[in-house]
Each structure stands twice: as C-alpha cells, then as structure tokens.
Structure 1
Amino acid sequence: MAFDKTRSAGFLANHMARLFAKGLQQNIRPLGLAPAQFMTLVALWEQDGLTQRELVERLDVEQATMANTLTRMERDRLIERRAHPGDGRSQSIHLTPKAVALREPATAAAGRVNAEALGGLTEEERLLFVDLARRVVASLKQRY
C-alpha cells in the first residue's frame, strides 16, 4: 500500500509545524527575534530564572541547540546568566528589561499566526483541535 501523506498524522503535523514556524518567523522578525528565541522567552516569561537544563526539558530541544540559542540571546541582550543560588556549578537564566518589554508584541505576533492558521475553523473546532494536539503531545512525551 502506498504512503498517503494526506492521511499521515506525523507528516501533516510536521508540515503544519514548519508553516507555523515560517509564519512566526515572519511576524517576530521585526522585533529582532527568531523562533527558537521566542520559544525560550515564552518559558522564561512563565518562570524567570530557569537553568539551561530546565529549559532543555521544558522545550524538548537538544542541549547544544539550547546552548547556541542562549548564547545568541545573551549577545542580543535578551537574557543574563547568573550563578544559580542552589547549585554553584550551574547558572540561572534571567530576562533583561528588553526581553520583558518584548512579551506583549511577541505574543501578539504569535497570536496573529494562530488566528490566521485556525481562521477557517469554528470556535468549537479550534478548542477541539488544541485539545487533541495537547493530548497527542502528551502521548508522544510519555513515549519519547
């Protein structure tokens, strides 16, 4: 039986993720942000002072990818690293005032991409789609 990409959840999710990332990139570029930086900022807006390891776990990214992202964010003066109060071997990552000020415009930009993507769905369908996506993510996180 031939592979039918129009019926493959993985293929469609991957394609959708790439399109979301493309839309996000276009919408946050004027703010001087890249998608990986935005993801990291979202985690830090939720809880400032996380360690690099905590960010890796929360965002499901590779350690090297997070290290590169944080280096760029530090260069761009979005974060600062401080000695972790409970563990002298690690550092906590803290938002700068510049990063705090980007919260509203960056999340508004992401909201526009979501609104465009889900614009063809009813409110009930949007809620169902997000609920199903959360459940699929949770299922995959348990397995992988």
Structure 2
Amino acid sequence: MDLNVLSTPGHLISLAARGFARLSEARLKPLGFGVGHLPVLVALQDGRASTQRDLARFARIEQPPMAQMLARMERDGLIRRAPDPADGRSSRITLTKAAEARLPDAIAVLLRGNHEVLRDFTDEEAGLLVAMLMRLIANLDRVASAEASPGTPIAGKGTDRRQAD
C-alpha cells in the first residue's frame, strides 16, 4: 500500500494532538491552567502521585521538564511542596485550595471540548477511537522500550545493537 506521508496515522494523530492542545490551552488559560498541567493536577487530585518522580512517571515525561513545570506551578499558586517525612531528600506535592477549586471547571471545559469535536461520531465510534489510541500508545511504549534496551536487533543487523559493521 502506497501511503502519502501526510495521510499516515502518525502525521494525522500529530495534527489532531496539536489541534486539541490549541483548543485546550485557549479554554484553560482563563482558569489559570495549561494543558501540560493536567496530568499533574489529576494525579494529585486522585492521590496517584505526590513526589516529582511519581508525577514524571505518571505524566510520562522526564524529570528535568517535570521539575521546571512544578516550579512554574508552585510560582503560580497551583501546588505546594512540603518535606517528605519518610525521605528528607524528597518533597510531597499537593494541590493548593485555589487549584482544587478550579480543577472541576477545567475538567468540564476539556470534556466539553472532546464532546464538541466528536459530535459527528457515534458513541461506538468514539469508544473504538479511544480503545485504538490506547493500543497505539501501548505499542509505541513497547517499541520505544525495546529500542532503548541494549542487545535489541536493528533491522538488517545482528542481535547485538552495539555490533559494528
């Protein structure tokens, strides 16, 4: 099958992601949030994470960008840090009352945006899209993890990726 590169799933998903990000940023800004804050806000609200390391893992980003985002969120009054009683080198991160108060509105804004852009989809199609995207993300994680592992075969090469020609 000969696909135009602009019609590939990767490119189309990238366009959709940028479109969602623009829409979400515009709608979240009046609430004092950015789209990048959402994984952190949700993780802290649900109690799934409370340290920088846990938040980075949950949000699937590296530690340095997470540290920068947390510093901005603290500056903007969205989170607060307290020493971790179990580990003096670490801090426990919690939402401020202001962030907790605005978070339900932010979630409602995002859900409304998703509903608007999926208006022409049946419930079955929307569910299938979500399921397929979750499978795609799992596959991307698997491939990236395999490529990051030493000894992973490279197409056309031996089994040891450190092998030189």
TM-score exceeds 0.5: yes
Q: Deviations over 1:17-74 (max 9, x none)?
A: 1111111001111101111122321221121651111111111112221111111110
The equivalent residue for 2:45 is 45
Contact map agreement 1:48 1:93 (CA 8 A) in 2: no
The equivalent residue for 2:141 is 141
Q: Name the SS of the counterpart of 2:80 in structure 1.
A: strand
The equivalent residue for 1:121 is 121
Q: Name the SS of the counterpart of 1:82 in structure 2.
A: strand
Contact map agreement 2:43 2:58 (CA 8 A) in 1: yes
Q: Which 4+ residue blocks in structure 1 deviate beyond 3 angstroms?
A: none
Contact map agreement 1:81 1:91 (CA 8 A) in 2: yes
Q: Name the structure, 1 or 2, with higher relative contact order (CA <8 Å, separation 6+).
A: 1
Q: Deviations over 1:74-116 (max 9, x none)?
A: 0111111111232211111111111111121000011011112
Contact map agreement 1:48 1:95 (CA 8 A) in 2: no
Instruction: Determine if the alignment matches structure 1 residue 4 to structure 2 residue 5.
Output: yes
Alignment of structure 1 residues 7-46 onto 2, 5 Å: 8-46=8-46
Gaps of 5+ in 1: none
Q: Residues of 2 paired with 1:2 and 1:108: CA distance?
A: 38
Q: Residues of 2 paired with 1:67 and 1:10: CA distance?
A: 29
Gaps of 5+ in 2: 145-165
Q: Name the SS of the counterpart of 1:102 in structure 2.
A: helix
Q: Residues of 2 paired with 1:79 and 1:10: CA distance?
A: 34
What is the aligned-residue RMSD (CA, Å)? 1.6
Q: Residues of 2 paired with 1:2 and 1:133: CA distance?
A: 20
Based on CA coordinates, which of the two structures has the bigger radius of gyration? 2
Query: When the two structures are superposed, what TM-score results if normalisation uses the length of structure 2?
Result: 0.80
Cα pair distance change 1:109/1:118, threshold 3 Å: same
Letter in 2 for 1:21: A
Q: Residues of 1 paired with 2:28 and 2:37: CA distance?
A: 10
Letter in 2 for 1:44: L
Q: Residues of 2 paired with 1:136 and 1:25: CA distance?
A: 24
